Every structure is written in structure tokens, then in C-alpha cells.
């Protein structure tokens, strides 16, 4: 990790800025991967397994993300950076609430600024709505890229939704990953 990212992670280590700290989280799940990644994934928030291991996307959704990343981009997760909108597990995997998202937002923004990826792939509605500042349904937003800083943002479906929905949704997520790959090459990045 870069020194600045390490400092940010240390700052969040025992965070009590929002109520998730006292609602059963085991540990803060800051993020994982290359500090200089050209591709960054942003999910929603840690689930049970993530809360246990302290790492994002290590449960069933993460297995699907790893699989599609490998099959469509030819890479493993150590080539990218992975983070979430909220860094602490919401109880019983409920949706993160607006005050929790607002508390955590500056930390995601600092991660994005420090990593400065060429392409951000947002996984599901929470990260897409937050970073694109819109409330459009994810099903309408996905399927194209959006300017984001010096790069682009490619929204896609959340892997948990894809797991529930089956083949057509998986095909859409695969197509979005290919979209991200093409954008990285166009922007002179590497995977």
C-alpha cells in the first residue's frame, strides 16, 4: 500500500464515525489491491465473510467477481483495487443507510483520489448512485461508460444480484467488464 493509503487505513482502523461501529461489525474493511491500479472496483459494503476476514468481496459475490474478472479480463484480483461504499458491515446485510454512506463517503473519495484509476467499475446501485450522483436505476445506467475525473466510470450489476438472477444478468456483467477493459486500453492503462 502507498504511504498515504496506509495512513488512511490506519485512520479508519477503529472508526466510530457512524452507527455501524456499534451495530455488530467485527472490523473495518478498508479495501485491498494495488495502490497504483488502473482498474478499481467499488461495491456496497462488507458482508459476513468480509467482516470476518477484513477483506472486501471474499464471500459468494467475491467468488463470482473473481471468476468473471479472470474470464473476461484475464487477471486476478491482485492487479486491481477493490473497495466498498461503506467500510463496515450493516447488520444482517441490510442496505447501508444515507447517514452511514455520508460518513464513509470522504474515505471512498480519498481512496479514489490516491489510487487515481483510469477506470472505476461500480458494482450495483449504491456505488453507482454515489459516484455518478444520480438516482437512475442501475439497469438503465449500465451498458455504457461515463466520464469520471481523468478517466471513466463503468457501472455494472452487483454480483449478488447476478447470482440471484442467472445467465442473462451474468452476460450483462461480463459485457460491462469487457467495456472496462476496452476503456483501459484506450486510456493507455494496463491490467
β-bridge partners, 123 = 156
How many helices and strands in the chain, by DSSP H and E?
8, 6
Point out the residue whose Cβ comes nearest to ligand URA: 43
Query: What DSSP character marks residue 92?
Result: G
Site pattern 62..91 for ligand URA (x: CB under 6 A) = x---------------------x-------
Nearer to ligand URA, 3 or 129 (CB): 129
Query: Which residues within the stretch 138-177 sit at the binding site for ligand URA (CB under 6 A)?
Result: none
CB of 135 vs ligand URA, minimal distance in Å:
19
Buried b (16+ CB within 10 A) or exposed e, 160-181: bbbeeeeeebbebbbebbebbb
Site pattern 34..53 for ligand URA (x: CB under 6 A) = ---------xxxxx--x---
58 to 36, 43, 110, 145, 164: CA distances (angstroms): 21, 12, 23, 26, 17
3-state class (DSSP) for residue 153: strand
Nearer to ligand URA, 41 or 183 (CB): 41
Choices 5-13, 57-65, 133-141, 146-154 (CB under 6 A): range interacting with ligand URA: 57-65
Binding residues vs ligand URA (CB under 6 A) = 43-47, 50, 56-57, 59, 61-62, 84
Amino acid at each position: 500500500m502507498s504511504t498515504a493509503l496506509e495512513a488512511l487505513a490506519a485512520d479508519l482502523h477503529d472508526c466510530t464515525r457512524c452507527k455501524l461501529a456499534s451495530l455488530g461489525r467485527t472490523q473495518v474493511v478498508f479495501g485491498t489491491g494495488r495502490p497504483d491500479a488502473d482498474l478499481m472496483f467499488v461495491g456496497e459494503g462488507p458482508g459476513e465473510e468480509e467482516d470476518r476476514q477484513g477483506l472486501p468481496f471474499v464471500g459468494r459475490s467475491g467468488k463470482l467477481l473473481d471468476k468473471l474478472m479472470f474470464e473476461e479480463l484475464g487477471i486476478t484480483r491482485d492487479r486491481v483495487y477493490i473497495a466498498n461504499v461503506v467500510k463496515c458491515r450493516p447488520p444482517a446485510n441490510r442496505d447501508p443507510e444515507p447517514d452511514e454512506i455520508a460518513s464513509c463517503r470522504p474515505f471512498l473519495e480519498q481512496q479514489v483520489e490516491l489510487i487515481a484509476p483510469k477506470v472505476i467499475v461500480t458494482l450495483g446501485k449504491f456505488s453507482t448512485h454515489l459516484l455518478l450522483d444520480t438516482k437512475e436505476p442501475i439497469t438503465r445506467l449500465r451498458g455504457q461508460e461515463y466520464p469520471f475525473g481523468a478517466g471513466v466510470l463503468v457501472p455494472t450489476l452487483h454480483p449478488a444480484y447476478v447470482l440471484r438472477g442467472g445467465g442473462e444478468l451474468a452476460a450483462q456483467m461480463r459485457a460491462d467488464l469487457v467495456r472496462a477493459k476496452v476503456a483501459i486500453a484506450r486510456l493507455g492503462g494496463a491490467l
